[in-house]
Amino acid sequence: MAPQRILITGCNRGIGLELVRQLLEQPNPPKQIFATCRNPDSPQNQELNDLAAKNQNIVLIKLEVTDAKSLEEATTQVEKHLNGAGLNLLISNAGILQPSTLATADAEEFLKVYNTNVVGSLLLAQSFLPFLKKAAQENPEKPLGCGKSALINMSSLLGSIEKTPESFCFHPQLSYRCSKAALNMLTRCQSVDYQKDGILCTALHPGWVQTDMGGPNAAITVEESVKGIIKMLDNLSEKHSGILVDWEGNTVPW
């Protein structure tokens, strides 16, 4: 059931980079990993560039998810490399978090976070939908899952409305929380509409992870998180359509 062709956003660091790394180490690695980042030529992308230099199945793609022109260019490039094949797995991983409390939040910051975390995910899915549909058509006999065609939106426990009272005092992150709650709704809507096309849509909480975003005091390492995510992706099925699951496969309440 391993996906053959995968696209992941935000691959130059954090969870995105580790996803690329661990996917390459799988017993049955994908034929193509479209690893996208905003500035492939930047020296800060050294690790991703090194991986791409050593692995022919990595295709580096420049992509700023909030920019329509960048999405159009990325789509054209990916289509060329797919050469008629479909895309089995699209992971909307790129995201931002800004300090934000009820007292300090302002419109500019709120809109910036919403634009990246929600609008970026929406535009990404719109752009690559034809290739996800194609993958589903290539495998009509397969059940819903990542081996067929799937869209994963990287969400967060902080977007869970039900869980908010447990952590709001310590981690207000207001604009981020609101954006991830909206991303959860987007995922639910996508799951309802795209199920008829054979595409599984699921929101994913990767755990509290030691990355630039999660910080050094986060609960788990990026290696642990991604190991869990890959196992979880492997087990995704129809019952995970339109829900929020965590890196260990547990359902998180909306």
Least Å distance, CB 9 to ligand NDP, is 6
Residue with tokens 């509409």: 193
Least Å distance, CB 143 to ligand NDP, is 27
CA distances from 166 to 104, 162, 163, 169, 211 (A): 21, 9, 6, 8, 22
Least Å distance, CB 157 to ligand NDP, is 7
Helices and strands (DSSP H and E) totals, the chain = 8, 8
User: What are 138's two structure tokens?
Assistant: 């290539």
Q: Residue 221 interacts with ligand NDP (CB under 6 A)?
A: no
Pick between residue 71 and residue 105 the one whose CB is nearest to ligand NDP.
Answer: 71
Least Å distance, CB 1 to ligand NDP, is 24
Whether 247 contacts 235, CB under 8 Å: no
Enter the DSSP assignment of 43: G
Least Å distance, CB 57 to ligand NDP, is 20
Binding track, positions 178-217, relative to ligand NDP; x by CB under 6 A: ---------------------------xx-xx-xxxx---
Closest CA to 249 of 232, 237, 233, 236: 232
Q: Residue 172 interacts with ligand NDP (CB under 6 A)?
A: no
Query: Which one of residues 55, 66, 167, 195 is an interface residue with ligand NDP (CB under 6 A)?
Result: 66
Q: Residue 74 interacts with ligand NDP (CB under 6 A)?
A: no
Q: What are phi and psi of 34, to 5 degrees?
A: -85, 100
Stretch of residues binding ligand NDP (CB under 6 A), selected from 61-69, 103-111, 135-143, 193-201: 61-69
Pick between residue 149 and residue 153 the one whose CB is nearest to ligand NDP.
Answer: 153
d(CA 34, CA 150): 15
β-strand 150-154 against 251-252: which pairing, if any?
unpaired
Binding track, positions 7-46, relative to ligand NDP; x by CB under 6 A: --xx-xxxxx--------------------xx--------
Least Å distance, CB 247 to ligand NDP, is 9
The Cβ-side half-sphere exposure at 105, using a 13 Å CA radius, reads 18
d(CA 183, CA 155): 7
Enter the DSSP assignment of 104: T
Q: Footprint of ligand NDP on this chain (CB under 6 A)?
A: 9-10, 12-16, 37-38, 63-66, 93-96, 116, 120, 154, 156, 205-206, 208-209, 211-214, 218
